[in-house]
């Protein structure tokens, strides 16, 4: 029993070190901190995957992590309607809109440009894997300055304990009504986890907590 306990605590401590204590190079937040954005406009994500559901999925998944990070996120469904009414039908077209126009119309401080790199399930004889990977850039609509960029992914092949930001994933599972079932839904669910890893705050080298967050003004410490 004593042996087991000792081994377990040692393992827990080791896991801790492995999970948290690898320090990546610190992100340069000077532009982000100077801009202090409060209102974010998430543009329809570009999709580089073969699944056309990637754009609506990752667009709808962006609001939660950014709002919980302390930002006001303009309602994506209404933004979608506004873009369509103005003849903007594709994400690529939307990404090409001049920044001053976006700022003028939507009143946002910064725009979030997401590119979905991977989205879907690859089937294999032994096991199939669901993988979602996305990249994001936050651009100041007043100056055009790049405030932040990052990339994250989530995969069914991960061990829960190894999952970077597993807690954020758990948080999502706890607060969001998940859909369970078909393989197409699996990509949607992993998309939610990937989005939280990508856009949640505070995270090491991640998006800075916004004005509505109790963590506002703090940078996630590199251990």
Partner 1 sequence: MSRALACAAGLGLLALVGCAQAPKPLYYWDTFPKQQYSTLLREGGSADEQIQLLEAQAENARAAHAALPPGFRAHLGMLYLGAGNPQRARELWTAEKTAFPESAAYMDRLLQRLDPPAQAGKTGSPT
Q: Where on the chain is the footprint of partner 1 (CB under 8 A)?
A: 5-6, 9-10, 12-13, 15-16, 19-20, 38-39, 53, 55-57, 59-61, 63-64, 67-68, 70-78, 80-82, 105-108, 167, 170-171, 174-177, 179, 188, 192, 212-213
Task: Output b/e per residue, 46-61; b: 16+ Cβ within 10 A.
Answer: bbebebebbbbbbbbb
d(CA 105, CA 108): 8
Give the shortest CB-122-to-partner 1 separation in angstroms: 22
Give the shortest CB-124-to-partner 1 separation in angstroms: 27
Two structure tokens written together for 43: 């543009």
- Residue 198: phi, psi to the nearest 5? -75, -45
Give the shortest CB-213-to-partner 1 separation in angstroms: 7
Closer CB to partner 1, 37 or 121, in the complex: 37
Q: What is the DSSP letter of 86?
A: T
Closer CB to partner 1, 57 or 186, in the complex: 57
d(CA 72, CA 99): 18
Give the shortest CB-192-to-partner 1 separation in angstroms: 7
Closer CB to partner 1, 103 or 118, in the complex: 103
Cα dihedral across residues 77, 179, 210, 145: positive or negative = negative
Closer CB to partner 1, 73 or 186, in the complex: 73
């Amino acid at each position: 029993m004593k042996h087991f306990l000792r081994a377990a605590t040692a393992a827990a401590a080791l896991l801790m070190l492995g999970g948290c204590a690898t320090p990546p190079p610190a992100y340069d937040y000077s532009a982000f901190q100077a801009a202090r954005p409060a209102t974010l406009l998430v543009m329809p994500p570009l999709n580089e995957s073969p699944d056309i559901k990637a754009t609506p999925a990752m667009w709808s998944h962006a609001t939660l992590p950014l709002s919980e990070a302390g930002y006001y996120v303009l309602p994506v469904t209404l933004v979608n309607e506004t873009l369509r009414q103005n003849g903007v039908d594709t994400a690529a077209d939307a990404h090409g809109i001049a920044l001053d126009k976006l700022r003028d119309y939507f009143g946002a401080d910064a725009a979030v440009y997401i590119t979905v790199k991977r989205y879907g399930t690859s089937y294999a004889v032994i096991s199939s894997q669901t993988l979602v990977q996305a990249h994001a850039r936050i651009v100041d609509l007043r100056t055009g300055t790049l405030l932040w960029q990052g990339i994250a992914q989530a995969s069914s092949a991960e061990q829960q304990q190894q999952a970077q930001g597993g807690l954020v994933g758990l948080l999502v599972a706890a607060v969001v009504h998940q859909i369970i079932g078909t393989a197409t839904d699996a990509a949607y669910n992993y998309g939610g986890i990937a989005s939280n890893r990508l856009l949640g705050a505070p995270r090491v080298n991640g998006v800075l907590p916004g004005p509505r967050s109790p963590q506002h003004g703090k940078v996630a410490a590199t251990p």
